Amino acid sequence: MLKTLKIKNLHAAIGSTKILNGVSLDISQGEVHIIMGQNGSGKSTLLSVLMGNPKYTVTAGSVILDKKGILELSPTQRAQNGLFLGFQHPQVVAGVALGNFLRLAKNTIATAQKSKTPAIGPAPFAAILRTEMEKLKIDPAFMSRSINEGFSGGEKKKSEVLQMAVLEPSFAFLDEIDSGLDIDALKIVAKQLGAVQKKQGMGLIIVSHNPRILDFIKPDKIHIMSKGKIVAQGGKEIVKKIEKDGFDSFIKK
């Protein structure tokens, strides 16, 4: 049975500054949703709140993952329940090899979901990782390097997609995955995103403010955010309106 993620009337703030002002959105496994909007509209905040970033305080609303409330769960527990966040600005983690990190994460999540799941050993996991890296055109040598150390901006974004492919979440949130990518890198990332999403049947929420991503990724639904709320949603007709009149056309005066 497909899992669902239901966001209802979600409000969140940093200190006394309100950022989310009543976001509601439903997504099921197998669906692709794209959230667009101007900078500062609350898109990235929404993803951070869904993953439990402690910087934000949820002041109202609910997030239900497969009939289970997750707002009281830690980020680790949310990951163990099948959520994944790909960062807009992936950070370098010095001293932690990408391959070792992903194998540990993979085994930890698998054990949390099924306590008797046998751990994947270094050699079999390296083979899996090498296959996924090849699809994204990532140098296999990066497997033994510290996370994102010496990676270009495009390589960091590819690394986020690599992590998503290996960890196999039920729902993945990708924050500005297209930013910093040239057209060739965007084609590679988009192609692999589509392949992984289709193969694994995950629910995918992609945040962007650039309509060109829609040339490579075909979503089930497009949402427009403004001032911390979803103000419009639909399909290709929304893209045409963005191209003609910009995001301001969705804002009620």
Has residue 105 got a pLDDT over 60? yes
The residues, any chain, with a CB within 8 Å of residue 124's CB and separated by 6 or more, are none
Helix (H, G, I), strand (E, B) or coil at 251: coil
* In this structure, CATH architecture of domain 1-81+219-253: 3-Layer(aba) Sandwich (3.40)
Of the chain, the percentage scoring pLDDT greater than 90 comes to 67
Domain ranges across the chain = 1-81+219-253, 84-203
Distance CA 247, CA 253 (A): 13
What is the sign, positive or negative, of the torsion defined by CA atoms of 114, 49, 31, 128?
negative
Does residue 235 surpass a pLDDT of 60? yes
pLDDT band at 230 (very low <50, low <70, confident <90, very high): very high
Instruction: Please provide the size of the chain in residues.
Output: 253
Model-level pTM?
Answer: 0.92
> Identical fold at 1-81+219-253 and 84-203?
yes
Q: Which amino acid is at 112?
A: A
Sheet holding 17-28, edge to edge: 17-28, 4-14, 57-65, 68-69
Question: Residue 204 and residue 31: Cα distance in Å, rounded?
Answer: 6
Distance CA 216, CA 131 (A): 23
- CB burial class (10 A; 0-12, 13-18, 19+) of residue 249? exposed
Looking at residue 252, its pLDDT comes to 64
Residue 114: is its pLDDT beyond 90? no
Fold of 84-203: Rossmann fold (3.40.50)
pLDDT in tens, 54-83: 999 999 999 999 989 999 999 999 999 999
Is 133:162 a contact under the CB 8 Å cutoff?
yes
